[in-house]
Amino acid sequence: MRTTAVDRPGAPPRTTMDMGALFSQREADRYTMHSRHLNEQMVRVLKTIGYDVNFCRGQGPYLYDRQGARYLDLLSGFGVFALGRNHPTIQAALRSVLDSELPNLVQMDVSTLAGILAERLLVLAPYLDKVCFTNSGAEAVEAAIKFARAATGRPGIVSCEHAFHGLSYGALSITDDAIFRGRFEPLLPDCVRIPFNDLGALEKALHERNIAAFVVEPIQGKGVNLPAADYLKGAAELCRRHGTLFVVDEIQTGLGRTGRFLAVEHWNVEPDMLLIAKALSGGHVPVGAVLTRKHVFDKVFDRMERAVVHGSTFGKNDLAMAAGIATLEVLTSEGLVDKAARTGERLLQAFAAMAERYELVHDVRGKGLMIGIEFGHPQSFKLKASWNLLETASKGLFCQLITIPLFKEHKILTQVAGHASHTVKLLPSLTISDADCDWIINSFDAVIADSHRVPGPIWSLGKSLMAQSMRPLPK
Ligand SMILES: Cc1ncc(COP(=O)(O)O)c(C=O)c1O
């Protein structure tokens, strides 16, 4: 008898299709499986910093480990869980797709759910006319680069220093981080980087009229860098004057994150293209979108033989569209955009008070529930020596001395806002409660207070990380 690949000795055993049961059977092996078959370095990182706690459940803004301990997640899957994990409305919408036997991905038809989601998104950005759906944020960036070149007939793309737009080739070409770019070069030609918040540099870059698009995050995710009051308006105006498309990457800031549906609403600007992704997924089904002006779209899809000139097999799939439709519904029905504004204000005030009290806290900034706490060089003699030692060993390592005790002692999962960054970033779900805010404020206060004690457990942790030559975690 012939054996097939699945019958062969060593092939995985036949298995249950109950994924919850399968997870329970094998979750204890996750680190071993990953070391063996996936990214071994990620497992090393988790074990080194003690994050290998075997999360077993996620609900709302919380994660639970195998012992049932509850963690408050301020990372929210890099921003996808704006509604929290496993929101019942998203789950119900997705189940209804599976139960309805919809004619998904016919390809030689058009998707009804995509039509509905596009219609609803465009109501929220009424100055734009067309939508192109993608499977990720980076794919939305790729589409924007292609559309801008097609619409203008120009090659150049301008982006900002410290920008992050994704890791596929086009997106990486306009991302500013040597660690991400190194070993993958050469990247796309004709990409120019200028300082963020510098209209003079933008004007100079646009001067020769060979730039298709200026792509910018309204608040930079790496570092939580805010634009000056007149920056985005000024940039839009410069782009208009030079025939360059003004493209705003709201993949992280969009869908309520900053206390407005779109962050650009804080500064009253209307981009030519808007990129969204992350939260639109409801945390369940990857999805992204480019919202654009009609004249741009028409330059790409200008005749029948070009009807499929850009797209992707899984783009507009029913599960992704349902996740997007349900996400917009929950944002509205639960008033999450206003809630993010209110909760964020409370947290910002509490952190600003800490900045007054603690010399290591240099700045607190953000909007809504995208908040950065920047640490910096201390004044007092006893702290200076320890800080300098740590910084010399590895720039930005100090932030790990905040995030690791937050995780281990206070059950708060948070992140450093970029490579070699001194900024700890909060990106919680928009649903966090007043009690969660107390949890955040009290925990940060306790850990930051500890970091001002030399000698003390925090600086001992620093020594041990230096010994293991830990580098700060990316993203
Ligand atoms: C501003 C911004 N743009 C683009 C991306 C890339 O999105 P994705 O990871 O879905 O490809 C990210 C992801 O972190 C982002 O924050």
169: helix, strand or coil = helix
- Distance from the CA of 93 to the center of ligand 1, in angstroms? 25
- Distance from the CA of 164 to the center of ligand 1, in angstroms? 7
Look at residue 4 and tell me whether its pLDDT is greater than 80: no
Is 375 known to be catalytic?
no
- Distance from the CA of 180 to the center of ligand 1, in angstroms? 13
Contact 74, 372 (CB under 8 A): no
CA-proximal residue: ligand 1, atom 4 (nearest): 165
What local confidence, expressed as pLDDT, does residue 52 receive?
Answer: 97
Is 367 known to be catalytic?
no
pLDDT > 70: percent of the chain: 97
- Mean pLDDT across 376-382: 93
Task: Dump the DSSP string for 422-438.
Answer: -EEEE---TT--HHHHH
- pLDDT tens across 122-151, in order? 999 999 999 999 999 999 999 999 999 999
**Could you tell which of 80, 165, 172, 280 is best to mutate to test the pocket of ligand 1, judged by most ligand atoms within 8 Å of the CB?**
165
Positive or negative torsion for Cα 297, 292, 139, 93: negative
Residue 5's pLDDT band (cuts 50, 70, 90) = low
> 296: part of which helix (H) or strand (E)?
helix 294-300
Q: Where are the alpha helices (DSSP H) in 186-254?
A: 199-206, 231-242
CA-proximal residue: ligand 1, atom 13 (nearest): 166
- Distance from the CA of 372 to the center of ligand 1, in angstroms? 18
Residue 3's pLDDT band (cuts 50, 70, 90) = low
Identify the residue whose tokens are 């497992």.
Answer: 43
Look at residue 115 and tell me whether its pLDDT is greater than 90: yes
- Ligand 1, closest atom to CA 138? 11
- Mean pLDDT across 112-131: 98
DSSP label at residue 267: G
- Mean pLDDT across 89-116: 97
- Distance from the CA of 189 to the center of ligand 1, in angstroms? 21
Is 249 known to be catalytic?
yes
Positive or negative torsion for Cα 229, 233, 237, 239: positive
> 364: part of which helix (H) or strand (E)?
strand 361-367
- pLDDT tens across 271-294, in order? 999 999 999 999 999 999 999 999
- pLDDT tens across 291-345, in order? 999 999 999 999 999 999 999 999 999 999 999 999 999 999 999 999 999 999 9
DSSP label at residue 85: B
In terms of DSSP bridges, do strands 62-65 and 55-59 run parallel, antiparallel, or are they unpaired?
Answer: antiparallel
Residue 472's pLDDT band (cuts 50, 70, 90) = low
Q: Of the residues 73, 177, 249, 272, which is catalytic?
A: 249
CA-proximal residue: ligand 1, atom 16 (nearest): 252
- Ligand 1, closest atom to CA 286? 10
- Mean pLDDT across 71-96: 98
What local confidence, expressed as pLDDT, does residue 473 receive?
Answer: 52
Look at residue 12 and tell me whether its pLDDT is greater than 90: no
Ligand 1: lining residues by beta carbon, under 6 Å: 78, 136-138, 141, 164-166, 217, 221, 249, 251-252, 277
What local confidence, expressed as pLDDT, does residue 471 receive?
Answer: 56
- pLDDT tens across 405-460, in order? 999 999 999 999 988 899 999 999 999 999 999 999 999 999 999 999 999 999 99
Output the CA angle 76-81-84, nearest 5 degrees: 100
Look at residue 111 and tell me whether its pLDDT is greater than 90: yes
- Mean pLDDT across 216-242: 98
- pLDDT tens across 333-357, in order? 999 999 999 999 999 999 999 999 9
